[in-house]
Amino acid sequence: MNLLKNKKILLIVTGGIACYKALDLIRKLQEKESHVECVLTSNAQEFIKVITFESLLGKKVKSNLFTLDQEKNMNHIKLATDTDIILVAPCTANFISKISNGVADDLATNVMLASNKPKMVAPAMNTNMWQNKAVKNNLYTLKKIGITILSPQSGKLACRTEGKGKLMDVDLIVDNLNLFFAEKKLRGRTAIVTAGPSIEKIDPIRFIGNFSSGLQGYEIAESLSFFGAKTILISGPTKLLPPSNVEFISVESSEEFLQKSLEKLPVDIYISVAAISDWKAKKISQSKLKKNSAVTSFHFKQNRDVLKSISTHKKRPKLVVGFSAETENLLKNSERKFKVKQCDWMLANKIDEKYGFKSEKNKVFFIEKNNIKEWKVMTKKLVARKLVKKIVSFFKNYKL
């Protein structure tokens, strides 16, 4: 469904090599029949000439803070208020720093500061810049003030390195904009999503863990929020920034995952994406275990099953969804888990070098009572979208 028709979108283009992709973005927004206005920073004009944008838009682009328009309105106030959403794409580390600290030294930053409209930024930069703590802190600030971050993708970058920092695919940017305007069909519903790994201590410096990145759970939490659900994200340690507009709870152990989940009941939806350890140390050593000590083996005991505990709880959510990560016998093992855990749906995903923990893509089988469907290989963002749309359909037909 095209929800971008007749929407007023202000596109701010900042100075990065990904500037040229903004032209494709404008074209695709025009195909969606959006009304696009464009602001170019002075740095952006070093990469692409203004006339290129104006030829595509069929109108003047804005860049000068001190120019009065024909109606004698100040550009930054008119642009800040006469729009449905502001999108910054590409968004450089420099621009992120400015808007996170309230700097207003040109037209683009003045518009961002003067506007109370929804805002999205699509960062694009070198991998080391993206991973820099200063940039992470600035992004965290943007999330706290309600700006949606369209996280960059991994791939080959213009600086001839490979890593995360590549501008989100233009089609995905358009999809995110479209989804933003979707009817909030889950408004009034509350959801818990667990994500990331659990950390089970052995001694003060060692633990049992796994390679879960948390990405799939974070994407699901963000999609639920987009559809209007009050979303609580309970996460083990990850390198990810929490999505905007979700309540974020940081945990480590399986016991903490369960405790925080139970504290937040009752809810309508519970989605267990976290890769929670099946075992923990019988006894956590209070001091570092030395390799030359008498310790020759570790003694473990099973953790309480978080998903099953929620599925069988007296305050059981209306919809309980589990994930099953397997390296072999995916369907056989996942079907068994589905029955044991007593959840409503289960998403079985294969863990190998291509998909799962170390990838931005997932290969998923959707399992429900008397039905298994294979989903095509998708990015974790699209898996999240597909799952949340199924959740919307579930509650549309839900009968008390």
pLDDT of residue 70: 46
> Does pLDDT of 16 surpass 90?
no
Where are the domain boundaries for CATH 3.40.50.10300 in the chain? 190-278+300-396
Q: What is the mean pLDDT of residues 5-16?
A: 94
Phi, psi of 23 (to 5 degrees): -65, -45
pLDDT category at 111 given cuts 50, 70, 90 is very high
Interval 162-186: pLDDT, tens:
788 899 999 989 988 988 887 789 9
What CATH number matches the domain at 190-278+300-396, 3.30.200.20, 3.40.50.10300, 3.10.330.10, 3.30.450.40?
3.40.50.10300
* Residue scoring higher pLDDT (257 or 209): 257
Interval 203-254: pLDDT, tens:
888 888 888 899 999 999 999 998 999 999 999 999 888 887 899 999 999 9
pLDDT of residue 71: 47
Interval 294-312: pLDDT, tens:
555 677 888 899 999 999 9
Residue 10 and residue 79 in contact, taking contact as beta carbons nearer than 8 Å: yes
Q: How far apart are CA 112 and CA 124, in angstroms?
A: 18
Whole-structure pTM value: 0.74
Rounded CA Rg of the chain: 23
- CA distances (Å), 327 to each of 39, 77, 209, 321, 366, in order? 49, 55, 17, 20, 17
Q: How far apart are CA 143 and CA 251, in angstroms?
A: 20
Q: What is the mean pLDDT of residues 136-157?
A: 89
pLDDT of residue 303: 86
Q: How far apart are CA 4 and CA 89, in angstroms?
A: 17
pLDDT of residue 75: 60
pLDDT category at 31 given cuts 50, 70, 90 is very high
> Does pLDDT of 73 surpass 70?
no
Percent of the chain with pLDDT over 90: 64
Residue 108 and residue 39 in contact, taking contact as beta carbons nearer than 8 Å: yes
Of 224, 147, 145, nearest in space to 182 by CA: 224
Other Cβ atoms closer than 10 A to 399:
3
Where are the domain boundaries for CATH 3.40.50.1950 in the chain? 8-180
Q: What is the mean pLDDT of residues 151-162?
A: 77
> Does pLDDT of 399 surpass 70?
no
Interval 336-357: pLDDT, tens:
999 999 999 999 988 777 776 7
Q: Which of 38, 91, 159, 343 is catalytic?
A: 159
Tell me which CATH code domain 8-180 carries. 3.40.50.1950
Mean per-residue pLDDT of the chain = 89
Contact partners, residue 186, CB within 8 Å, separation at least 6: 224, 227, 228, 229, 388, 391, 392, 395
Q: How far apart are CA 157 and CA 56, in angstroms?
A: 26
Residue 19 annotated among the catalytic residues of the structure: no
Q: What is the mean pLDDT of residues 387-391?
A: 95
Contact partners, residue 6, CB within 8 Å, separation at least 6: 33, 34, 35
